[in-house]
Structure 1
Amino acid sequence: MIDAEDRLFLRAQLTDFSLFFLLLLTHSCRGQSGPPQPMMAMIGDEIILPCHLEPTADAVDQTVEWTRPDLNPRFVYLRRDRVDLLDEQHPSYRGRTSLATNKLKCGDLSLKLSTVKLSDAGTYKCLIPKSGRESVVELVVGSVSSPDIDVSRVSNGVVLDCKS
């Protein structure tokens, strides 16, 4: 039989464990969100690769990394101490990436990628190193060929044959 003193000790231990478990669960639910399915863009498009802190938190003073693990250097976009670090950026992305800095306060880390190229297709990671928060975005890039138009005359008019 458990006496009153042992019961108080067990209750205190269970309360401590419950609090620890709740904090662990809450912390593990924090993170960043990205889209559940791949993002689609066509060559030449401008696209926003989404990344948001959850729960919403101010990211103005945070280091923000957008990377592609298959590249060297891996940085597609890097912002540290409120400055874009262009020297660290992969050359193929120079002049084509940006963040909406006015949205960082609301936890919006989405990357704008301009003039999409076929080589931009792949897996992107959005990361705040200090917190370890990470989100993955898959980008699929499509292309279409220029249309080939043949014009031919028929007795009553013209036939346009378009192939792409």
Structure 2
Amino acid sequence: MFFLGFLFVCFFNKISQAVVVEVNEGKMFVLLPCQYSGVIFKNHTVMWTRNDLNPKTVHRQREGGDDLREQNQCYSGRTSIRPGARDTGDFSLTLRKPTESHSGKYTCSITDGQEELTDVQLQVKGQQQTPDENTGVHHASVTTNVFLLLLLCLIMLLLSS
């Protein structure tokens, strides 16, 4: 019974992890986080997308390297994934010289979108902000995780009765 509850929490923790990244326009770059700890198959594809764009591809990396043929023109020459990402599982996206038009919801997925890893909400603030403000990263899932833990406790109490 405890194992079932543990799986329930793990499943919902994976779904609820949304990251908000804020950066001021004019910064050299911003890093959109994406970590993967599962098995990475030989023919893997990592995709960063924005569903509100056409084409929606922000960055694609296959086993042999970057594949930017279908990349949205707004991101041309601005994106990269760290070398050795396959070995470390760190598929974080570097976006150079972010502008307000880059604000939006980004999705990192592996193997042609079959497994969604994370959603990142990027907010690029205009030049009126102080130019030396640091990039902020906030985890929006804290409230959701607390709620899910309370819900799990309630379910376990009901099941043990």
TM-score normalised by the shorter chain: which range applies?
0.5 to 0.7
Q: Residue in 2 aligned with 1:113?
A: 95
Counterpart of 2:59 (choices 63, 77, 80) is 77
Stretches of structure 2 that go unaligned for 5 or more consecutive residues are: 131-161
Counterpart of 1:95 (choices 68, 74, 77) is 77
Please report the TM-score for the alignment, with normalisation by the length of structure 2: 0.64
Secondary structure in structure 2 of the residue aligned to 1:136: strand
Q: Residue in 2 aligned with 1:14?
A: none
Secondary structure in structure 1 of the residue aligned to 2:85: helix
In structure 2, give the amino acid aligned to 1:128: I
Percent identity, please.
Answer: 33
Secondary structure in structure 2 of the residue aligned to 1:52: coil
1:40 aligns with 2:18: no
Greater relative contact order (Cα < 8 A, sep 6+)? 2
Q: Residue in 2 aligned with 1:140?
A: 123
In structure 1, give the amino acid aligned to 2:30: I
Q: What is the RMSD of the two structures over their aligned residues, measured on CA atoms?
A: 3.3
Q: Residue in 1 aligned with 2:134?
A: none
Cα deviation, residue 127, structure 1: 0.3
Larger strand share, 1 or 2:
1
In structure 2, give the amino acid aligned to 1:138: Q
Stretches of structure 1 that go unaligned for 5 or more consecutive residues are: 1-17, 148-164
Larger Rg over CA atoms:
1
> Which of structure 1's runs of 4+ aligned residues deviate more than 3 A?
31-37, 55-61
